[in-house]
Amino acid sequence: MRATLLTAPHEISITEVDFPTVQNPGDAVVTITATCVCGSDLWNYRGIRQIAQPQLTGHEFCGVVTEVGDEVTTVKVGDFVVSPFNTSCGECAHCLAGMHSSCAHKEVFAMGCQTEAVRVPYADGTLVATPEPPAPELIPSLLACSDVMATGWHAAVSAGVREGSTVAVVGDGAVGLCGVLAARQLGASRIIAMSRHADRQALAREFGATDVIEERGAEGAARVLELTDGVGADAVIEAVGTIEALQQAGACARPGATIGYVGVPVGVELALDPFFRRNIGLRGGMAPVRAYLPLLMDLVLTGKINPGKVFDMTLPLDQVAEGYAAMDERRAIKVLLEP
Amino acid sequence: MRATLLTAPHEISITEVDFPTVQNPGDAVVTITATCVCGSDLWNYRGIRQIAQPQLTGHEFCGVVTEVGDEVTTVKVGDFVVSPFNTSCGECAHCLAGMHSSCAHKEVFAMGCQTEAVRVPYADGTLVATPEPPAPELIPSLLACSDVMATGWHAAVSAGVREGSTVAVVGDGAVGLCGVLAARQLGASRIIAMSRHADRQALAREFGATDVIEERGAEGAARVLELTDGVGADAVIEAVGTIEALQQAGACARPGATIGYVGVPVGVELALDPFFRRNIGLRGGMAPVRAYLPLLMDLVLTGKINPGKVFDMTLPLDQVAEGYAAMDERRAIKVLLEP
CA A221, CA B101: separation in Å to the nearest integer? 21
B225 at A interface, C-beta within 8 A:
no
- Give the CATH number for residue A121: 3.90.180.10
Q: What share of chain B is helix, strand, coil (3-state, %, to 5)?
A: 35, 25, 40
CA B277, CA A102: separation in Å to the nearest integer? 8
Last residue of a domain, one of A268, A284, A300: A284
Interface contact flag, A231 B101, Cβ < 8 Å: no
CB atoms within 10 A of CB B206: 13
Q: What is the ipTM of this complex?
A: 0.96
Residues A69 and A174 in one domain: no
pLDDT confidence of residue B97: 97
Write the CB contacts of B87 (distance below 8 Å, at least 6 apart in sequence): B103, B105, B106, B107, B108, B109, B120, B121, B122, B125, B126
User: Residue A278: which pLDDT band, with cuts at 50, 70 and 90?
Assistant: very high
Residues B125 and B158 in one domain: no
* 3-class SS of residue B100: helix
Domain span including residue A279? 151-284
Give chain A's domain count.
2
Residues B208 and B228 in one domain: yes
* 3-class SS of residue B63: strand
| Residue A313 exposure: Cα atoms within 13 Å on the Cβ side | 23
CA A147, CA A84: separation in Å to the nearest integer? 6
Interface contact flag, A255 B281, Cβ < 8 Å: no
User: Residue A50: which pLDDT band, with cuts at 50, 70 and 90?
Assistant: confident
> Could you tell me which of B62, B84, B304 has the C-alpha nearest to residue B181?
B304
Residues A96 and A78 in one domain: yes
According to DSSP, the residues that pair with B13 across neighbouring strands are: B5
Q: Which of residues 28-67 of A touch B (CB under 8 A)?
A: none
Residues B235 and B273 in one domain: yes
pLDDT confidence of residue A48: 85
pLDDT confidence of residue B108: 86
According to DSSP, the residues that pair with B118 across neighbouring strands are: B30
pLDDT confidence of residue A107: 87
A13 at B interface, C-beta within 8 A:
no
Closest Cβ opposite residue B272 in set A268, A278, A286: A268
Last residue of a domain, one of B284, B304, B322: B284
pLDDT confidence of residue A49: 83
Closest Cβ opposite residue A282 in set B97, B273, B281: B281
Residues B309 and B249 in one domain: no
Residues A10 and A119 in one domain: yes
pLDDT confidence of residue A79: 98
Last residue of a domain, one of A260, A284, A308: A284
Residues B215 and B298 in one domain: no
pLDDT confidence of residue A14: 97
- Give the CATH number for residue B165: 3.40.50.720
- The pLDDT tens digits for B67-104 are 999 999 999 999 999 999 999 999 999 999 999 999 99
Interface contact flag, A279 B283, Cβ < 8 Å: yes
pLDDT confidence of residue A321: 97
Q: Which helix (H) or strand (E) holds B205?
A: helix B198-207
Q: Is B39 left (phi over 0), alpha (psi -120 to 50) or beta?
A: alpha
Q: Which residue of A has its CA nearest to B159?
A: A281
* A101 chain-B contacts, CB cut-off 8 A: 255, 279
CA B249, CA B168: separation in Å to the nearest integer? 8
pLDDT confidence of residue B49: 83
Interface contact flag, B231 A258, Cβ < 8 Å: no
Residues B115 and B196 in one domain: no
pLDDT confidence of residue B139: 98
One-letter identity of residue B143? L
Residues A8 and A115 in one domain: yes
Residues B183 and B300 in one domain: no
Write the CB contacts of A238 (distance below 8 Å, at least 6 apart in sequence): A155, A170, A171, A245, A246, A249, A259, A260, A261, A262, A263, A284
User: Residue A108: which pLDDT band, with cuts at 50, 70 and 90?
Assistant: confident
pLDDT confidence of residue A281: 98
pLDDT confidence of residue B110: 80
Alpha carbon A275 to its chain's center = 26
CA A280, CA B16: separation in Å to the nearest integer? 40
Write the CB contacts of A149 (distance below 8 Å, at least 6 apart in sequence): A141, A178, A181, A182, A296, A305, A307
Residues A108 and A138 in one domain: yes
CA B328, CA B322: separation in Å to the nearest integer? 10
* B270 chain-A contacts, CB cut-off 8 A: 269-270, 272
Sites in chain B below the pLDDT cut of 50: none
